[in-house]
Amino acid sequence: MSRNALGGAFDPHDLRDHLSLIDAMGVIPPGDLFDFLMRVRTAELSSLEREPIWQDMVASTQAEMAAFLHLTAGEAHDLAVSHVRAMLGENLIWPTYISAYLSRPEVFRPQIRVWGQESLDGALRSGRGAVLAQCHWGAFQMLLPALLIHGYSVFQFFGDAEAAAWASDVIRDRNPGLFSHMETLVVPDPAVARRSLQTIDRGFLVAIPPEISEGTTKPKLHTEFLGVEVYAPEGPAFLAATARVPLIPVRVQAEGPTLHCYLGEPIEVTKSRSGIQEAVQRCFRDLEKAVRTTPHQWRGWGFLRDMCVAATVGEVKR
């Protein structure tokens, strides 16, 4: 099932080509299937760890962790190894794992824990939606199917067309009912504001990353993060203020066969320059706290330099 060595037997990009096999996996109890997938992936990683590409990934992550978290080389190395193992290990098999049960969401629902669900439901009580500041964290691509399985409608932003097509095609094939409660958009798109406001009025959760990634247009707003000044997109906060709905930080983290969706406290955003800036700063403070607590789960180590305002990059040495 693999296109490349990094993806292994359960490369998420191959899912659309093996939907019948995914369907067969769905008859296996979730815990047993996860154990099987993880045993296969662990064996693949044992071989991959000897390859130069693995060493390069560890070395680059180690350098950033040491610089921005002020760690010793040994501390940073151990965390960097944990990071690469998490990204290429259980986070990589989760798309296959969750796809096997999309046709029977009731079977898989106990495997997904939504922390802060009461606050989310309270924000949706008016019948309108909310904006989710979806951090690049852990198995972050799984937020869309996880929330669909829990009965929410989701408008998901994607950074590339292939990822959007993968999500749409797999979910449409596995469960047309769930598919009817999702919409996707590939950014940048001139219709982003209009479509977001329309879906919010229909009760959708609009999921937008709060961090910029490689190649993203640099925003005008800056904030402090990990001791340096970084570019801070105002889109999520501006959208929440315009729609008059809460902005809710969210992180998704896989822990074995269970997926945890951590929802922060809803932020009421006033439609003013200071109100939007304060909401953005709160999101980044929440993210920094999480990064300092569990640094190996943040996916931003690969694009952190792109987040930094040019004038401050030199303040952090590799």
What confidence tens digit (pLDDT) does each residue in 265-278 have? Answer: 999 999 999 999 99
- Under DSSP, the state recorded for 267 is B
The b/e string for 124-154 (b: 16+ C-beta within 10 A; e otherwise) is beeebbbbbbbbbbbbbbbbbbbbbbeebbb
The answer to whether residue 318 is domain-embedded is no
The answer to whether residue 129 is domain-embedded is yes
The answer to whether residue 196 is domain-embedded is yes
* CA pair distance 92, 192, nearest whole angstrom: 29
- Dump pLDDT digits (tens) for 200-230: 999 999 999 999 865 567 888 999 999 999 9
* CA pair distance 15, 166, nearest whole angstrom: 8
pLDDT band at 315 (very low <50, low <70, confident <90, very high): low
The answer to whether residue 3 is domain-embedded is no
- Dump pLDDT digits (tens) for 146-187: 999 999 999 999 988 888 988 899 999 999 999 999 999 998
User: Closest by alpha carbon to 184, among 212, 206, 203, 201?
Assistant: 206
Residue type, 261: C
The answer to whether residue 1 is domain-embedded is no
The answer to whether residue 292 is domain-embedded is yes
- At residue 183, the pLDDT reads 96
> Do you know the residue count of the chain?
318
What Å distances lie between residue 277 and 238, 241, 292, CA to CA?
9, 11, 22
pLDDT band at 2 (very low <50, low <70, confident <90, very high): very low
pLDDT beyond 50 at 318: no
* CA pair distance 242, 275, nearest whole angstrom: 12
Output the CA angle 46-48-52, nearest 5 degrees. 135
Once rounded to an integer, what is the mean pLDDT over residues 243-271?
97
Q: 212: domain range? A: 8-313
- Dump pLDDT digits (tens) for 289-311: 999 999 999 999 999 999 999 75
The answer to whether residue 77 is domain-embedded is yes
* CA pair distance 287, 134, nearest whole angstrom: 10
How many independent structural domains does the chain possess? 1
The b/e string for 264-295 (b: 16+ C-beta within 10 A; e otherwise) is bebbebeeeeebbbbbbbbbbebbbebbeebb
Q: Measured between alpha carbons, how far apart are the two ends of the chain, in Å? A: 38
- At residue 135, the pLDDT reads 96
Reported pTM: 0.93
Ordered alpha helix ranges (H), the chain: 19-25, 30-48, 52-69, 73-88, 90-99, 105-108, 117-123, 143-149, 161-174, 176-179, 192-201, 235-243, 273-293, 304-307, 310-313
pLDDT beyond 90 at 317: no
* CA pair distance 193, 183, nearest whole angstrom: 14
pLDDT beyond 90 at 11: no
The answer to whether residue 2 is domain-embedded is no
